[in-house]
Amino acid sequence: MLNRLQCLVLAVGGLLLLPVVSAEMPQPQLCEQLHVVLGQQAGLDVSGQQWLDKLAAQSGLQLHAHPRADTSLRDFTAGVHDLWLGASPEVLRDSAARPLLPALWQEEYWLWFRAGELTSLQQLPQLEGLRGGYWRQQHGLGLLIALPEPGRLRLLPSPNKAVQLLLAGEIDYFLAGRAELEVVVSEQERLETLEMPLLVRPYYLAFSRNSACLDAELTKQLSVSIKKLQH
């Protein structure tokens, strides 16, 4: 049997070995995988998953995609998800997220009139006495607040109906992006707009401010990779 002194020597020796054993054990890497909510994707030339695959290859990071769900914004705000793909101005406002530069894309909205009615394509006409048209989705996005002194606004079912009523003289203008008017390409020559868009809405890859992975080095790594993908 070991005497008390021998036991004490063995115990101390075991303690001395602990740091060596701990040093040899692999430590888990922080943020080796980032979790990304697939938000707005309409401005990408590929699907959100394909774009993330390109970003992962470019940045050397592991990016795990999550389809958008009812709880996504709450989880993203809390830091459960690290990134939001295609974060709109509303998502940035509601989550206080940090957008990564540059923006992934932007939507431009123009004021449209009947051809030949604008005295200047550089200067916004007085809208107060004019009749405008809009559709419900625009109200939900808060686009109408960009209209200075909008005058009378009429709720319409679609951009196509807005074009019809504009050409018929029942409204005087409406706000729309060029992509929204693709359904009525044949009529665009009868429409006219100012040279500059009235409203620009950028969309970003945004970092949750409560993500454990938010740091300057990682955000720079992602921003540099986004720039490379855009060139």
Q: Within 13 Å and on the Cβ side, how many CA atoms surround 215? A: 7
With cut-offs at 50, 70 and 90, classify the pLDDT of residue 186: low
Section 50-74 average pLDDT: 97
Pick one of 3.30.499.10, 3.90.650.10, 3.40.190.10, 3.30.565.10 as the CATH number of 107-200.
3.40.190.10
Section 40-65 average pLDDT: 96
Residue-averaged pLDDT of the chain: 86
Q: Does 105 score more than 90 pLDDT? A: yes
Q: In the chain, list all ranges with CATH 3.40.190.10.
A: 33-106+201-229, 107-200
Q: Does 15 score more than 80 pLDDT? A: no
Residue 85's Cα: distance from chain center in Å?
A: 5
Map tokens 């940035």 to a residue: 92
With cut-offs at 50, 70 and 90, classify the pLDDT of residue 9: very low
Pick one of 3.40.50.920, 3.10.450.50, 3.40.190.10, 3.40.50.970 as the CATH number of 33-106+201-229.
3.40.190.10
Which residues, 6 or more positions from 140, have their beta carbon under 8 angstroms from its beta carbon? none
With cut-offs at 50, 70 and 90, classify the pLDDT of residue 66: very high
- Supply the pLDDT for residue 29: 59
**Model's pTM, two decimal places?**
0.78
